[in-house]
Structure 1
């Protein structure tokens, strides 16, 4: 009894030590998410947003809006009472706003252009593969058509069969006429045999 108890104690102890160990990385379970200092963002969503902004910046509507804003800004800061003006004459704040807009617009346009280039590259690759498949299909069909032509060359056509039948008919008629002249038909032969037998 004592050795059995000792064995169970060892099992329990080994089980306790195994469960108290640090958990191993299991491949059948996903890793717990790590805490990140920087916020996570979806690059696809950001890329789509940059394309929309770049597309809007490239329209005439954006130029009209920007022109209206600049004209209103300049007129207000020239003609409004001095305590309501927020950007006096050399319009430093307007210059700063336009510089910030340009510094953000350029990378957004480049990002949208890079995405467009990636899409064009993927489409070009798909077109190339489609072209290769079309060429392979065309070559296969060409070989099949050539094989059919070769096969049709060996097939008896209706005109050929008709001419062969006409030749055979003429040949049979010629033999029939020749047999009549020489008396080679069975009736003639049987008559001759009867005469000889008599």
Structure 2
């Protein structure tokens, strides 16, 4: 009596009552359903089912009456096909759900990889831009070559002007009787012009 009152107390939860169903592995059942769905979706299954149904019709139509197990109207065949359809539809839906789950996981993985690749690409683009900015402030090889070539041309021009100036001085010295350098008070307009073109102050 005391145990019955203790069981009927309202401050304690009641123990669940019900029929315990057998447990099974959902993953194994899913693989099995996918195998059946793949098999039913092939041409081999359709050919075999057509052959079986045709043999069923022929046997129950042309065989002796005492050997026919499903006479005309083929009630048993209709029941078998109905059972097949009733089980095939849920199995196909289960296989489609599993495939949809795999596709969703693959899509999320592809999205994650695309995000990582985008971040890496943006990082590389920023690094390349920074390198370009830094290289813009540094003398490059082509720039040094162009500057050296320009300086070499200027030196060649200066050497040519110096040679011309020396030849003119020699010609003037040869024209004067007695040779020698021109007097200091003699104007040297052509030499001054050469010095001005050369960009050097007069000596």
**Shorter chain as normaliser: what TM range?**
0.5 to 0.7
> What does 1:1-198 correspond to in 2, within 5 Å?
37-164=20-147, 182=203
Measured against aligned partners, the alpha-carbon deviations of 1:78-129 in whole angstroms (never above 9, x if no partner) come to 1112222111111100000000000000000110111111111111111111
1:109–1:166 CA distance, 2 compared to 1 (3 A): closer
Higher relative contact order (CA 8 A, sep 6+): 1
Shift of 1:58: 1.1
Shift of 1:141: 0.9
Instruction: Provide the C-alpha distance between the structure 1 equivalents of 2:142 and 2:80, rounded to a whole number of angstroms.
Output: 90
1:70–1:153 CA distance, 2 compared to 1 (3 A): same
State the TM-score, normalizing by the size of structure 2: 0.63
Shift of 1:52: 1.0
1:74–1:168 CA distance, 2 compared to 1 (3 A): closer
Instruction: Provide the C-alpha distance between the structure 1 equivalents of 2:47 and 2:149, rounded to a whole number of angstroms.
Output: 90
What is the number of equivalent residue pairs in this alignment?
A: 143
Measured against aligned partners, the alpha-carbon deviations of 1:27-78 in whole angstroms (never above 9, x if no partner) come to xxxxxxxxx9433211111111111111111111111111100011111111
1:164–1:103 CA distance, 2 compared to 1 (3 A): same
SS in 2 for 1:83: helix
Instruction: Provide the C-alpha distance between the structure 2 equivalents of 1:62 and 1:162, rounded to a whole number of angstroms.
Output: 79
Specify every segment of 5 or more residues in structure 2 that has no aligned partner in the other structure, as ranges: 1-18, 160-198
- Could you say what the CA RMSD is over the residues aligned between the two structures, in angstroms? 2.5
Specify every segment of 5 or more residues in structure 1 that has no aligned partner in the other structure, as ranges: 1-35, 183-198
Instruction: Provide the C-alpha distance between the structure 2 equivalents of 1:73 and 1:163, rounded to a whole number of angstroms.
Output: 96
